[in-house]
Chains A and B, each alone.
With several copies, the nearest count.
Chain A
Amino acid sequence: MIYRVYINYKKGILDPESEAIKKTISNMGFKSLKNLSKGKFFDIEISEKKNGLKEIEKISKDLLSNPVIENFKIIKK
């Protein structure tokens, strides 16, 4: 069973990295850029079991994401 956990910044959090990338892109001459945001994902494989999703949820909440600034979303692959 593989789950993918997506993590991105909460709305309103200014991510300096995305800001820097945005600037570089427009310096590169791409004028049509309207917005850019960055996130990360983890593909997690676990052995077949009943409450797998629960476990992944716990890991995402307690470890993978930082609730002060980030949201997470889990999908089954």
Chain B
Amino acid sequence: MPKRIISIIVFPGSNCDRDLAIAIQNHLNVKTQYVWHDNSKIDNYEMIFIPGGFSFGDYLRAGVLATKSPALGEVIRLAKKGVPIIGICNGFQILTECNLLDGTLMNNKNQLFICDKSYLKIENNKSIFSKNLKKSVVQFPIAHAQGNFFASNDSLKELEDNNQIIFRYCSKQGVINEKNNPNGSLNNIAGITNKQKNILGMMPHPERAINKFDDQDGVLFFNGLKELL
């Protein structure tokens, strides 16, 4: 049995690593360890997080340069072994760029960076990442320039048919429509898993919704992962 430590992969330019570590420590009650991108071995892999930020400046395309780091090679290997992996924001972009997740994240429809609150409908409450969320709509902040989810028709159909869509942008009341789609994502998709459902990618930031002065739905998210340990 590996030690109970969660790994957070850190790339040059990651900037949500600290916030994520705090959320995990406080609400999942488990230690975290940063893994610098040039390590080709990850010792603690009970669960792996890929944080938000601007890995390698988001140059070329958000997330793509990070996929060439040694640590990502290891993430891919462990992913195939079924290790739970969660990529948030830039982490989601990285996971699509290295094909662990389907689709891609294009520029926001309005061509601007968007920082705002977002409401998310829990579309699949059976997945290991969402089954303990206890709410049907949660609120997490978003902050990204490339969060406009796109996938080919075939991929999209698969995502929908397999219940791989975990979160969709919606109104406070849970209405999913164009008006409540902040960035132009296909079918309001905000978070998906892979087919095996051990990898989650999401644009919104649950780690930014854990403080008393925030809306605290992030606490539910991290608490809900306890079962995985």
Direct contact of A and B (CB under 8 A): yes
Residues of A within 8 A of B151 (CB): 68
With A24-B65, A63-B64, A63-B68 as known contacts, state yes or no: A17 contacts B150, CB within 8 Å. Answer: no
CB pair B150–A24 under 8 Å, yes or no, is no
CB pair B65–A16 under 8 Å, yes or no, is no
Please name the residue on chain B nearest to A25 by beta carbon.
B68
Residues of B within 8 A of A24 (CB): 56, 65, 68
Residues of B within 8 A of A75 (CB): none
Residues of B within 8 A of A28 (CB): 68
CB interface residues, A 34-77, toward B, < 8 Å: 63-64, 66, 68-69
- Nearest Cβ on chain A to B54's Cβ, whole angstroms: 11
Number of chain B interface residues as a range: 20 to 34
Count A interface residues, CB 8 Å. 14
Further contacts, 8 of them, CB under 8 A, given A16-B184, A68-B104: A16-B107, A20-B57, A21-B59, A24-B65, A63-B60, A66-B104, A68-B150, A69-B104
Q: List 16 A-B contacts (CB under 8 A).
A: A13-B150, A16-B59, A16-B108, A16-B111, A16-B148, A17-B111, A20-B57, A20-B60, A20-B111, A24-B68, A28-B68, A66-B61, A68-B150, A68-B151, A68-B152, A68-B155
Interface residues of A (CB under 8 A from B): 13, 15-17, 20-21, 24, 27-28, 63-64, 66, 68-69
